[in-house]
């Protein structure tokens, strides 16, 4: 059975990021982006998707949080794409609901090779911790563009913005876990085109 791991180093004038990923892990994580709330969300992503995920980022937080959030999504997405390779014998599709108290989120993903993101978190605050709420939607969009998937993230209800975002990340983790799972009846690439790239 092939090992589905990847390491990504991404360095720009705005951020320096390293990501180590094991698709078939147990949910172990080591996350340090300099943004506590983003660390919390990536830890939840790792735990509930059962991906082993290590992320280290040094970003220009003296400017703001945008580059760190966006570039972390790009690097994580790039690692997922590299670990999946040609996506042979994966389920491809995943969907999940996750609650956090009064908040409920739904995520549907298709690892199709066709990038598209529809994200509706319904947030009312300007920021959570040091992360601008607009950048939390942007995290999902940047991930989808990099891994080249169709990604639908909807918060169906909720009052507390922290709860809404955490429910969304947990639903995303569960949907991703399902989509990357090895198909029990392998038949090559799950596409009538014969390719998911």
**pLDDT attached to residue 189:** 60
Query: What number of other Cβ atoms are within 10 A of residue 76's Cβ?
Result: 25
What is the tens place of the pLDDT at every residue in 127-181? 999 999 999 999 999 999 999 999 999 999 999 999 999 999 999 999 999 999 9
**pLDDT attached to residue 184:** 73
In this predicted structure, the answer to whether residue 15 has a pLDDT above a threshold of 80 is yes
Structure tokens at 103: 């908040």
φ and ψ at residue 96, rounded to 5 degrees: -160, 150
What is the tens place of the pLDDT at every residue in 121-135? 999 999 999 999 999
Where along the chain do its domains lie? Answer: 5-180
Query: What number of other Cβ atoms are within 10 A of residue 184's Cβ?
Result: 7
Predicted TM-score (pTM) of the model is: 0.92
- The burial class, CB within 10 Å (0-12 / 13-18 / 19+), for 182 is middle
- The burial class, CB within 10 Å (0-12 / 13-18 / 19+), for 5 is middle
**pLDDT attached to residue 195:** 57
- Range 5-180 classified under CATH 1.10.3810.10: no
The rounded mean pLDDT for the chain is 94
Query: What number of other Cβ atoms are within 10 A of residue 137's Cβ?
Result: 20
**Mean pLDDT, range 46-59, rounded to an integer:** 98
φ and ψ at residue 9, rounded to 5 degrees: -115, 125
| Sheet with strand 52-59: strands edge to edge | 5-11, 15-22, 52-59, 29-32
In this predicted structure, the answer to whether residue 1 has a pLDDT above a threshold of 80 is no
H or E stretch at 21: strand 15-22
**Mean pLDDT, range 63-83, rounded to an integer:** 98
């Amino acid at each position: 059975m092939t090992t589905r791991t990847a390491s990504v180093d991404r360095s720009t004038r705005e951020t320096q990021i390293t990501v180590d990923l094991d698709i078939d892990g147990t949910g172990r994580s080591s996350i340090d982006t300099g943004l506590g709330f983003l660390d919390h969300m990536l830890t939840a992503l790792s735990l509930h998707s059962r991906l082993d995920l290590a992320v280290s980022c040094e970003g220009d937080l003296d400017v703001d949080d945008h580059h760190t959030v966006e570039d972390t999504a790009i690097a994580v997405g790039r690692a997922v794409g590299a670990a999946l390779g040609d996506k042979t014998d994966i389920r491809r599709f995943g969907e999940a609901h996750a609650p956090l108290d009064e908040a409920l989120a739904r995520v549907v993903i298709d690892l199709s090779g066709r990038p598209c993101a529809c994200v509706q978190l319904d947030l009312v605050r300007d920021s959570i911790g040091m992360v601008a709420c607009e950048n939390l939607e942007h995290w999902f969009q940047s991930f989808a563009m990099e891994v080249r998937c169709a990604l639908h993230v909807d918060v169906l209800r909720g009052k507390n913005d922290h709860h809404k975002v955490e429910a969304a990340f947990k639903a995303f983790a569960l949907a991703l876990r399902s989509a990357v799972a090895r198909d029990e009846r392998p038949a090559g690439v799950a596409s009538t085109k014969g390719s998911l790239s």
